[in-house]
Amino acid sequence: MVAKLETFSGSLADIRAFCTVVDFGTMSAAAKELIETKGSVSRRIARLEASIGIKLLARSPRAVSILDEGFEFYEKASAALALLDEARETVRTSQDVLRGSIRVTASHDVAAEILPGLISAFRKKHPQINFEIIASDTTLDLITNRIDLALRVKVGDLADSPYQAALLADVNIGLFASPIYLKGQRHLEMPSDLASQELILPRERPGPSHILLTRGQEEVRLALRPSIRASDFACVVRLAVAGAGIAFMPTMLAGEWIARRELVQLLPEWGFRGPKLYALTAAGRQKPARVREFRNFLALTLKPFRSGAT
């Protein structure tokens, strides 16, 4: 005869408080996330431990650490909370209207230059979905930081990634300059003409930058000494618009500036392949409908920038 499990009679809010403390590492950080006082969170943990009769956390005046029993409880409790959240989301999205919040992280470049237009267009279709954007050049853990979706630029594929990755775009690099800079300049006919120009490159290391430009099967290798180097593409774009020189920058960033006639593409048949832009989500769990919808929207909107996409 199978023994009957004892029914849990504690508070879900207390369990969520405990899982949040484990996720964020301190009572103070958990309290800030839950919009409660540190004392309230501490009382919730004590109440939870009393209800199950097991000590879960070791406390000191300066820190908390999870005990082995606490870790076992956390693994199952956090999974149960995720299932409950998904069940609630399923009910809420059973109608046509999507709502809720999406927490997104991206590098400063992507957050400044790519995300704004995408989120604005998405919210016109789904105005009841709110966003929290975390701009960081540090690779943040999605689970620990409760991030729904990360946009990351990487070279090659992400076969070894612990997350579910969807390719959004190839970040191909082209040559762009403003009419201000081009006024009075000699017309560029070949990549070798770049040697006599003022160049803006997104590199930080000193010395010449070795660039491989391609046109179909044709390749040209150049050792260029830029006039200006910038640590991010957002700065490169604005330097080009200001007339500081010819910028090497992703073609996907140039569209609006070309439409406003503030940038012109040079040697458009020449370019070089940059990294790839991926959307990452936590693997092994059902995504809320709003997150799936946003990821699908990104893939469809950025499809023109994916090589081989039809």
pLDDT 10s digits, 130-170: 999 999 988 888 888 889 999 998 876 766 678 888 999 99
**Do 262 and 123 meet the contact criterion of CB atoms below 8 Å apart?**
no
pLDDT of res. 124: 95
d(CA 255, CA 240): 14
The better pLDDT of the pair 210, 56 is held by 56
pLDDT of res. 91: 65
pTM of the full structure: 0.65
Confidence band, pLDDT 50/70/90 cuts, at residue 194: very high
1 Cβ partners below 8 Å, 6+ apart? none
User: CA torsion, points 167, 173, 174, 176, in degrees to nearest 10?
Assistant: 110
- SS3 state of residue 15: helix
Question: Would the pLDDT of 1 be above 90?
Answer: no
State the residue for tokens 């999974």: 79
Domains in the chain, CATH or no CATH each: 12-92 (1.10.10.10), 106-169+283-305 (no CATH), 173-266 (3.40.190.290)
Candidates 290, 253, 292; CA nearest to 131 is 290
Confidence band, pLDDT 50/70/90 cuts, at residue 84: confident
> In 173-231, which ranges are continuous DSSP H helix?
179-182
Percent residues over pLDDT 70 in the chain: 90
The better pLDDT of the pair 145, 179 is held by 179
pLDDT of res. 187: 86
Bridge partners, 174 (sequence order)? 249
**Do 186 and 269 meet the contact criterion of CB atoms below 8 Å apart?**
no
User: Which pair of tokens denotes residue 92?
Assistant: 């809420």
d(CA 107, CA 150): 9
pLDDT of res. 299: 95
pLDDT of res. 287: 79
User: Which pair of tokens denotes residue 143?
Assistant: 């689970």
pLDDT of res. 236: 93
